[in-house]
Amino acid sequence: VRIVSVVGARPQFVKAAPVSAALAGRVDEVMIHTGQHYDPEMSDTFFAELGLAEPLHHLGAGSGSHAEQTARILTGVERVLQDDRPDAVLVYGDTNSTIAAALAAAKLHVPVAHVEAGLRSFDRGMPEELNRVVTDHLSSLLFAPSPVAVDNLRAEGVTSGVHMVGDVMVDALLRARDRVAVPHPVATALGLRAGEYAVATVHRAATTDDPARLRLAVELLSRLELPVIFAVHPRTRGALERAGLLDGMERGESSVVHLLPPVSYLTMIGLMAGARAVLTDSGGMQKEAYLLGTPCVTLRDQTEWVETVEAGWNTLVGLDAARARAALASRAPLERPELYGDGHAAERIVDALLAGC
Ligand code: UD1
């Protein structure tokens, strides 16, 4: 059995690592890197830390408008699939790389297997939501991370090929946890002790692309009354510069904001594990914070990872600074049930792939 797997953006490298390891020796895997993320700290660092093999194909798609980026990936993936004729194409998550690879494969009648199927924010204003919906409807094998994801698929009439396998990010985190130092040297170098700082990231279009909303996010982070380590995505750095918000941000109104470039996977896990709280609009970090037992304050109005909110570990605050401060002041629950599987999702995915190909 030969599988082509397609990755391109930071969280996909994390998701692919445990699956690639589980495929090794059982399935012939050919990896395509679309080049959606290309800066060394957004890509190479992840491959090195996660022990991912160098992809056989690099499409070099780079940045651009949604249509430009998606189109470049679509034609690049099609070329590889025409030459390679794999038994299935494995795609991850909800990025433009995901939808482009799924569409290229489906049109060539190559079965699509989607890891992280069935997630919904029910906000079609998010590019990721459009990518999720379309990818799921193009897929023959749908690997859902949670029962809620299975229910979402059923509500859209998708029941065939659905496997509830758990979340591969749990697999990745369980492998990484023993490799990270807490307190992390990056926090220590900033003079921050475990439990006495927050970690923040912001990169969604809905937060970064409107200068007024970006300003709200900056104000929120600078009024937390707690030092903040803010790892800045290149998209966000560009938006902050254009809005004239970068200068002076480190002298927050009531909290010091330490701006860092994007940090590696293991560094982020170490920083989150030692943090009092995580503030983010990322999907993956909401779950990682939960798994690490660090409360999360999500800078959005809705989430795909509803279970973390129901369990009391994640609070949706939008960009409301007062609600963020209130969430930080509240006590973490005592219980932290296993929401997203036991860390063996990747093996289940490979078993189902072999049974389905
Ligand atoms: C993408 C995904 C998002 C995912 C995120 C993970 C889409 C629509 N969005 O968002 O779902 O959560 O990845 O990080 O696919 N840039 C660089 N260097 C890089 C990569 C990006 O400078 O290596 C800058 C460019 O200015 C680029 C911008 O970041 O235009 C946005 O990058 P893009 O890949 O379009 O989307 P992300 O915001 O990373």
List, for residues 48-97, the tens digit of each pLDDT value. Answer: 999 999 999 999 999 999 999 999 999 999 999 999 999 999 999 999 99
Instruction: Tell me which of 12, 14, 37, 281 to substitute to probe ligand 1's pocket, judged by most ligand atoms within 8 Å of the beta carbon.
Output: 37
The residue nearest atom 17 of ligand 1, judged by CA position, is 234
| Residue % of the chain over a pLDDT of 90 | 96
Q: Does residue 293 register a pLDDT over 80?
A: yes
Neighbours of 87 (CB within 10 A): 17
> What's the rounded Cα separation, in Å, for the pair 70 and 36?
9
Q: Ligand 1: does its nearest atom lie under 6 Å from the Cβ of 203?
A: yes
Can you read off the two tokens belonging to residue 60? 């070099």
pLDDT in tens, 18-55: 999 999 999 999 999 999 999 999 999 999 999 999 99
Nearest to 325 by CA among 230, 232, 228, 258: 228
Residues with a catalytic annotation lie at: 203
Atom number, ligand 1, closest to the C-alpha of residue 36: 34
Do the strands 228-231 and 141-144 form a parallel or antiparallel pair, or are they unpaired? unpaired
Ligand 1 and 116: CB distance under 6 A: no
pLDDT of residue 253: 62
Ligand 1 centroid from CA 205, angstroms:
9
- Ligand 1 near 36 CB (within 6 A): yes
Give the per-residue pLDDT at 262: 98
**Looking at residue 174, what is its pLDDT?**
96
Please state the rounded mean pLDDT for residues 237-258.
Answer: 83
Q: Residue 252's pLDDT is what?
A: 59
91 ligand 1 Cβ < 6 A: no
Ligand 1: residue of 233, 237, 263 to mutate (most ligand atoms within 8 A of CB) is: 233
Instruction: Decide if pLDDT at 98 tops 90.
Output: yes
pTM score, whole prediction:
0.97
**Minimum CA distance residue for ligand 1 atom 24:** 235
Q: Please say if the pLDDT value at position 12 is more than 70.
A: yes
Cα of 350 vs its chain's centroid, Å: 21
Q: Above pLDDT 70, what percent of the chain?
A: 99
CA dihedral sign, ordered 60, 260, 169, 326 = negative
Task: Identify the pLDDT of residue 70.
Answer: 98
pLDDT above 90: residue 300: yes
Distance 236 CA to ligand 1 centre (A): 9
β partners of residue 315 = 297
Residue 72 is given by DSSP the state H
Nearest to residue 171, comparing CAs of 32, 23, 58? 23
pLDDT beyond 90 at 117: yes
CA–CA dist 247, 244 (Å, integer): 7
Residue 251 pLDDT greater than 80, yes or no: no
